[in-house]
Structure 1
Amino acid sequence: MSHTAHIPSHRKPRQRASKSALRAGVAGGFLSTIAVAGAAGPAQAEPVTQTIEMPTITDGLATAVAASAQATQQVALDLETQASEDAAAEKAAKTAKKAHAEAVRKDEARKKAEAAAKAKAEAEAEAEAEERAERASRTAERTTLSASSGSSDSGSSASAPSSSSSANVSGSAASIVAFAKAQVGDAYVSGGTGPNAWDCSGLVQAAYRTAGIDLPRVSQSQSTAGTQVSLDSLQPGDILYWGGAGSAYHVAIYVGGGEFVGAQNSSTGTVQRSLDYDRPTGAVRVL
């Protein structure tokens, strides 16, 4: 046995026990601290839990966003509806304006048509009155011509009427004038050559044919068919023309007494008028 075997201080048992106690104390203190912290922990964490509440905030935000989106969509629908209503109103206004303009145009056209119809009716009535007067005059003229012809055939010494329209008429001129006057009241037709409708040159040609004279058909040629004479020295049977010689647009027959017979136009037909009614440009003498 060693001479140190019984020395208790060599193992230092008390020192170990002290360290163990110290360690135990430290450990116990640490655990006590943890225990105290654990006990105090729930009391301090409660305000944090009540303040955050993340699920509650998230749900409210989603609801607000959904409501905002719905409101935005409603505003867009309202704007679209308003735009459609505005467009419809503008289209309706344009349609109404166009319809009004069309109605005004039709009303004006109707008024013009009514005015034209009224003027035509008045002109026809006037022409009819003139035609009746001309026919009465033509009947009287034919009666006079028949009476004159009968007196001549019976050898009577009675003289012809001394009116200025027939005082200087004789021979071929008398035949031409008589034919022309007999057609007064007939219709005017462009290109007409009788027996009941004439144009101006057709009437002149037919009248001269009764005297055995064949004239050109158109007024331009008839205006140069004879010798040019002054309007102050006219004789019954002379051809009157309107326009230039060789380019005349109208012709008629001078019947004496300052009057002519001509197929004037479709409104008046064949008439007997004073030279002052429509002053001719010139005249030619064929006889």
Structure 2
Amino acid sequence: MSHTAHIPSHRKPRRSASKLALRAGVAGGVLGTIAVAGAAGPANAEPVTETIEMPTLGSLDTAGLASAVAASAEASQQEALDQSLESQENAALQKAAKEAKKAKAEADRKAEAERAEKARAEAEAKAKAEQERLEAEARASRDRERTQLRTTSASDNSSSGSNTSDSGSTGSSDSGSSTGSSNTETQAPSGTAAAIVAFARAQIGDAYVMGGTGPNSWDCSGLVQAAYASAGIDLPRISGDQSSRGTSVSLSNLQPGDVLYWGSRSGSYHVAIYVGGGKYVGAQNPSTGVVERSLDWDTPSGAVRIL
């Protein structure tokens, strides 16, 4: 072992080459300036003995570094703030777009509901107008038939009056035949027919209402359906379907409980119930309500027997 190994070194730490070069350059420049100034002075000038203290390189490096770090921190903070603002703006735009889409969907739904409601109201109004038109046509048709029937009846009565000079035996024979026919027509119904007739007559005086099914207002097919239901018999709701049931019978062979119809059998526009004695009960129209009428007041087009 060397005898100097335990002696610590008194040498200063070696500076980096870049720092030494920088310091040497600064010092060289200063010394060069002093030398030039000395050479330019008078020959007998006294030598310069003033010592110039140079700033240390370490103090210059620390100040610059602190300024750079501060500038970098400020730039980073500004960038983070910009990113935060941009993120908030994007979130606000997305929220606004979502709310606008939801509002548009709600507006479309309301508009569609309003269109559907308007279409439904228009369809109901059209159906009501069509029904009123059919009812008016039916009333007009019945009025024409009544007028024609009365004209025909008046003509027949006139012809009958001109034949009053017939023999007594003939008149007596006709009277007996007519009386027999009248007794047949006024025969009281029985069983199921009696129940149907009783129900129909019990509703006389009730109001006529389109679509009415009782208990205090009826339309024609609603009354017929309810009368048969009171006897335990199911009938369709519509007059055309009711007159299509059972078997067709002539108006000269009617029995109490038969269903009378006006129009064609499968396309009738009005129905009523024959109650015997040449009369029927039906829900006629809004002005008369449920009434009992004779067949010649509004002669039906035909009849069906369901019992």
TM-score where L is the length of structure 2: 0.44
Normalising by structure 1, what TM-score?
0.47
